Amino acid sequence: MSKPLILVSNDDGITSNGIKKLVSLMAQIGDVLVVAPDSPQSGMGHAITVGDTLRLTENRLFGDQIPAYECSGTPADCVKLAKHHLLKDRKPDLVVSGINHGSNTSISVLYSGTMSAAIEAAIEGTPAIGFSLCDYDTDAEMDHVDEFILKIAREALTKGIPKGIALNVNIPAHQNQKIRGIKVCRQANARWEEEFDQRIDPHGRKYFWMIGNFVNHDKGEDNDEWAIANNYISLVPCQFDLTGHHAIRLLNDEWDI
């Protein structure tokens, strides 16, 4: 039997340490194709390139045995180009995105380019996983992630992921204590409370840096923030249907429309 085909992408760019680690792990279990941005695209969310050119350039960063391409567009663009241009004759068995340098727990999933690559794959009907390491250091220690990423990827390949679902996997930063396991959980009720630091450029014009704090309002023990704080890997199944189904009846019953 042929090996499964695994498409690898990310949002930190094709030269990041995170994608190098993920490619090396996926090469142990399948045939790998890499399509990733040619520059960092963090915080791009599910943006796509409309009304501008897209460039796709072959890259030998991962050696002659692993075909790789760098794309001038967003993470979602990368998955679209891979499926509809590079892989017209073969559908990937799994799409993995990451390993992101930094957490994508809670509300961050909406802003994440890492998760948008995975969600784009889910929209296209392909099992998909986004992996993030809760450490923003570009040279962060990653050797503790191997067994868990391989386990999750193998489970996805052999047992499948529900249709229309992308898995959001966050892994605690390396520490002296071993990771306690994997928790399937929900997205925490937490968000960023932004502030804007106003400054003056050398020409006397105003500009702003967005700053702020991440505030967790969730006291439960079944969410991704709790899992990471307690040294578990969090695994949250995410869907792209944003319909607030619980509000449909209320609006029909109470609004005069």
Binding-site residue positions for a divalent metal cation = 11-12, 42, 100
Q: How far is CA 235 from the centre of its chain?
A: 12
Q: How far is CA 99 from the centre of its chain?
A: 8
Q: Is the dihedral of CA 20, 153, 149, 36 positive or negative?
A: positive
Buried b (16+ CB within 10 A) or exposed e, 47-56: eeeeeeeeeb
Q: Which residues pair with 132 in a beta bridge?
A: 100, 170
Indicate the angle between helix axes 146-159 and 17-26, nearest 10 degrees.
Answer: 50
Among 190, 146, 185, CA closest to 167: 185
| Count of CB atoms situated within 10 Å of the CB of 183 | 18
Determine phi and psi for 72, rounding to 5 degrees. -75, -5
Determine phi and psi for 233, rounding to 5 degrees. -80, 130
Task: Cite the DSSP H helix spans in the chain.
Answer: 17-26, 75-81, 108-111, 113-123, 146-159, 224-229, 245-254
Binding region: 11-12, 42, 100
